[in-house]
Amino acid sequence: MSDAVATARAALPAVNTRPPPSRLWFRKVPRKTTEHELVCFEDRGSVLDAPRDVLWEFMTTRNEFHSKAHRSGLRKFRWKLLNEITGEGTCEVVRGGKWTRMRFRMTSIRPFVRIVEEFGSHEQKMVFVYTPKGERTAVDVFVQTRKDHADETRRTLAQAHEEDVPALREFMRARGPTRRPADRAAPQG
């Protein structure tokens, strides 16, 4: 290589060709054991007997019905809104038969999706997708969690569904009949 080329190369700033790693997708995972390995799974097929807008109202209205549905495994709920769609919270949840503290961030893009990111030992992410099915709503959940927590997370999702069904029925009885968009139109005449 000529001296002129070497001098020109030395004068150029160093260029990083790799993009910086994203906190969300790149993790340092211990290689010696598999218990901390991240796994992904889907929980599809849950259907709730309420239109999507009523389901969102159930989940977000003054915490009267939805939070009460999960009292057996959730307590001391604290919430701080960060912006119009995202908040952070803490609570205590039952894990392995013991109450443990949980920190999380939740982003809700109403009425389509809710994303929950949990910090700490469980270090998991869940995406809930709400799809209208006429007068019902399909709820599909996509989870990324540690391998040693996957079975417990599956059980928790199943239990949450079983708790939501009667609470949603109670909410709908208290709320009264569902009004369709056509019913909301201004009266004719």
Residue 159 is assigned to a structural domain of this protein: yes
* Residue 128 structural domain: 32-176
Residue 182 is assigned to a structural domain of this protein: no
Residues in contact with 41: Cβ distance below 8 Å, sequence separation at least 6, in sequence order: 142, 143, 150, 154
Per the structure, the count of domains in the chain is 1
Residue 10 is assigned to a structural domain of this protein: no
Q: What's the average model confidence in pLDDT over 6-13?
A: 53
**CATH value at residue 81:** 3.30.530.20
Residue 168 is assigned to a structural domain of this protein: yes
Residue 161 is assigned to a structural domain of this protein: yes
Over 80: is that where the pLDDT of 174 sits?
A: yes
Q: In the prediction, which pLDDT does 120 show?
A: 81
Peptide bond into 177 cis (omega under 30): no
Q: Are 137 and 50 in contact (CB under 8 A)?
A: yes
Q: Are 105 and 113 in contact (CB under 8 A)?
A: no
Residue 184 is assigned to a structural domain of this protein: no
Q: What is the pLDDT of residues 110-161, one digit of tens each?
A: 999 999 999 987 789 999 999 999 999 999 999 999 998 899 889 888 888 8
Instruction: Identify which has the larger pLDDT, 9 or 116.
Output: 116
Q: What's the average model confidence in pLDDT over 29-53?
A: 80
Q: What is the pLDDT of residues 124-136, one digit of tens each?
A: 999 999 999 999 9
Q: What is the pLDDT of residues 66-109, one digit of tens each?
A: 777 777 788 888 889 999 999 999 989 888 889 999 999 999 99
Residue 64 is assigned to a structural domain of this protein: yes
**Reported pTM:** 0.72
Nearest to 87 by CA among 71, 107, 73: 107
